[in-house]
Amino acid sequence: MMLTRRNALALGAGAAFSTGMPWLSTARAADAVTFAPKPGAWRTFELTTTVEIKAAAGPTQVWVPVPGFAADDWMRPGETTWTASGGTVALREGAPGKAALVHAKWDAGATPSVVVTSRFATRDRSVATDAKGTAASLPAEQRKLYTSASELMPLDGIVKKTSDTIVAGATSDVEKARRIYEWIVDNTFRNPKTAGCGTGDIASMLSTGNLSGKCADLNPLYVGLARAAGLPARDIYGLRVAPSAFGYKSLGANSAVVTKAQHCRAEVFLDGIGWVPVDPADVRKVVLEEPPGNLSLSNAKVVAARKALFGAWETNWVAYNDARDIDLPDSKGPSVPFLMYPQGETADGRMDSLDPDSFKYSISVREIKA
Amino acid sequence: MLAALLPWRSFGRRALVCILLLVILAHAAERASLAEEWRPKALPALTLDTLDKHTTDLSDAARSVTLVHFFATWCEPCRDELSQLDVLAKRYARRPLLILAIDVAEPPSRIRRFVATRPVRFPILLDADRSAMKAWGVDAFPTTFVLGRGPCPLWRLAGAHDWLTPASLARLGAALAAAESEAFQTPSQHCSSSGDQS
């Protein structure tokens, strides 16, 4: 058989299935390494985003994502305030009921700047997936939303085909969700050259066989494959705000300046269990970046992270929103596939949100101790 | 003994070289085969602004061989391929080759920074809202459509393509020759014979 990209993909999936869950065989070695987030005390943080546009061409607009995602057991968004150099500023939504953002507008001739401050509280998560629970079922409207396609997340064609291959023979939703997780970990890799967090163009990834990227590629790939398997799933966009308490340098914000610490995660909804946190992209981040770097999948730190990140998150991270295909209020430009970076627009068009040095913005964080 | 073996070793070396050549030719043939014949019911529309704020469409494609190339700056294979397309633009500067490189869904400032370090001799068109990408059925980057004179659809190349292989150059050269041979005729309203150029 000629080895093509596509059947290499299928072989990769087959290999993962034939060995079951490869991390199990080395789980004992991981006992020496601890990565086991559990719900504990809530931590409160204050996030400050500063945007300045030095040479604005004509009327200028800025959209700053703020914490708007709420979950009773792990995420409590708090008050958002701002100061601005004139203009008009308002707290708005980029999508109905979702994607909270601060929208600032200035007329031509202004020197636009805005400082947005938000508070939020968060705590670690751990959800048992090995026992049938009694969690409430997902309302029909939400089930429909979280099993639907989006602009960059088609659920037919190669996405459906790949998902079907991965979950073939699975006898439960938990098994399907875990198989997809293991497949992502086994078959993708983090690409340090990917700009920002990636684009999330999952059909392109599967079509080209280039399964590399960063969190906004790999975790939406999980979400797309899960949705294609009929499982409600969502990607949640946010920012790392604190170091990892488990000593993982690659999985934390190790400075008060978090301008480039954006991180996207994923959840899958399992009947009886509820929303389950997953983060296969962070397993691949540990592989690539955890010192000394380029770790093998059998490395104890990787094994421990892989074991934990299906069902648990260390929530040294703030959730902004889970929205996709967002029309920025009053923008003349196209919708954005997700909102994790500040966005700006002048008469010259949309500014480059991945270039915080030319589109001047900075983000800092501090923990509020009781 | 050693001398007796030498002819055999020489034969073996020649055989090895032959096998390697066959592998390389097979690989080249496989690469060339990535160019699928493309016969849509109707040529998709294409009217986009360029990075230089001009509006461009396919009106200049009537008497040319046109490469409609979809890319993004974040796509690593696209970077090499843009460089190769620039080599083609230089090589065929005096022949009827039109290259339209379409960046998909990226801010102009990012593209300007990109082409500042990798200048190209053809226009960059902006598909800010992915409408052209959808109209042309693109689902992976890079993807290139080759149009013959008319413009008539010829081939669709999904994924990275090596434009500088002898097979690719020969194919493009044949299409250019076909376009040139008809250059002083009225462009055909029908594309049924365009496949002859392949």
CATH of the domain at A234: 3.10.620.30
A52 & A86 share domain? yes
pTM of this prediction? Answer: 0.81
Average pLDDT rounded to a whole number, residues B4-22: 44
Same domain, A35 and A50: no
Judge whether A101 lies within some domain. Answer: yes
Which chain A residue has the Cα nearest residue B134?
A151
Query: Which of helix, strand or coil describes residue A213?
Result: strand
Q: What tens digit of pLDDT does each residue of A280-312 get?
A: 999 999 999 999 999 999 999 999 999 999 999
The distance of B197 to chain A (nearest Cα, Å) reads 27
Model confidence band, residue B182 (pLDDT cutoffs 50, 70, 90): low
Q: Are A197 and A236 members of one domain?
A: yes
Q: Whole domain around residue A102: which residue ranges?
A: 43-122+339-368
Does residue A315 share a domain with residue A292?
A: yes
Q: Which is more confidently placed, B25 or A72?
A: A72
pLDDT beyond 80 at B189? no
Residue A203 with chain B: CB contacts under 8 Å? 139-140
Distances in Å between the Cα of A278 and the Cα atoms of A34, A125, A131 are: 17, 10, 17
In a domain, A243, yes or no: yes
Q: Chain A within 8 Å of B27 (Cβ-Cβ)?
A: no
Q: What is the mean pLDDT of residues A172-191?
A: 97
Closest-CA residue to B80 (of B146, B171, B161): B161
Whole-number Cα distances in Å, A73 to A8, A40, A70, A138: 41, 10, 9, 16
B77:A348 CB<8 A: no
Q: Which residues of A touch B128 (CB under 8 A)?
A: 333-334, 349-350
Q: What is the mean pLDDT of residues A200-224?
A: 93
Q: Can you read off the two tokens belonging to residue A72?
A: 């009773």
**Among A49, A47, A48, A52, CA closest to A344:** A52
Contact B105 A334 (CB under 8 A): yes
User: How many whole angstroms separate alpha carbon B2 and alpha carbon A162?
Assistant: 56
| pLDDT range class, residue A279, cuts 50, 70, 90 | very high
Q: Where is average pLDDT lowest: A75-84, A317-326, A352-361?
A: A352-361
A195 pLDDT higher than 90: no
Q: Is residue A331 part of a domain?
A: no
Q: Please indicate, yes or no, whether residues A286 and A212 belong to a single structural domain of this protein.
A: yes
pLDDT at A102 over 70: yes
Instruction: Give the model's pLDDT for residue A20.
Output: 44
Q: Which amino acid is at A236?
A: I
The pLDDT value recorded for residue A210 is 86
Interchain contact A193–B (C-beta under 8 A): yes
Report which of B109, B121, B6, B136 is spatially closest to residue A357, judged by C-alpha positions: B109
Look at residue B112 in the predicted model and tell me its pLDDT: 93
Q: Which of B72, B107, B140 sits opposite A351 (nearest CB)?
A: B107
Domain-wise residue ranges, chain B: 39-197
- Give the per-residue pLDDT at B17: 40
CATH architecture of the region B39-197: 3-Layer(aba) Sandwich (3.40)
**Domain check: are A351 and A309 in the same one?**
no
A213 and A295 assigned to the same domain = yes
Q: Which of residues 61-120 of B touch A (CB under 8 A)?
A: 72-74, 76-77, 105, 107-110, 113
- Do A225 and A76 reside in the same domain of the chain? no
Lowest mean pLDDT among A8-12, A23-27, A179-183: A8-12
A332 belongs to a structural domain: no
Higher pLDDT, B114 or B16: B114
What CATH number did the domain enclosing A115 receive? 2.60.40.2250
Query: Closest to A334 (Cβ–Cβ): which among B77, B129, B159?
Result: B129
Could you tell me if residue A353 is inside a domain? Answer: yes
Partners of residue A204 in chain B, C-beta under 8 Å: 139-141
Same domain, A148 and A288: yes
Which residue, chain included where needed, has tokens 């704020």? B53
| Nearest Cβ partner for B139 among A198, A207, A355 | A207
* Domains identified in chain A, total number: 2
CA distance A295 to A297: 7
| Assigned domain for A188 exists | yes
The count of other CB atoms within 10 Å of the CB of residue B28 is 15
> What mean pLDDT value characterizes chain A?
90
Q: Which of A2-16, A48-62, B11-25 has the highest mean pLDDT?
A: A48-62
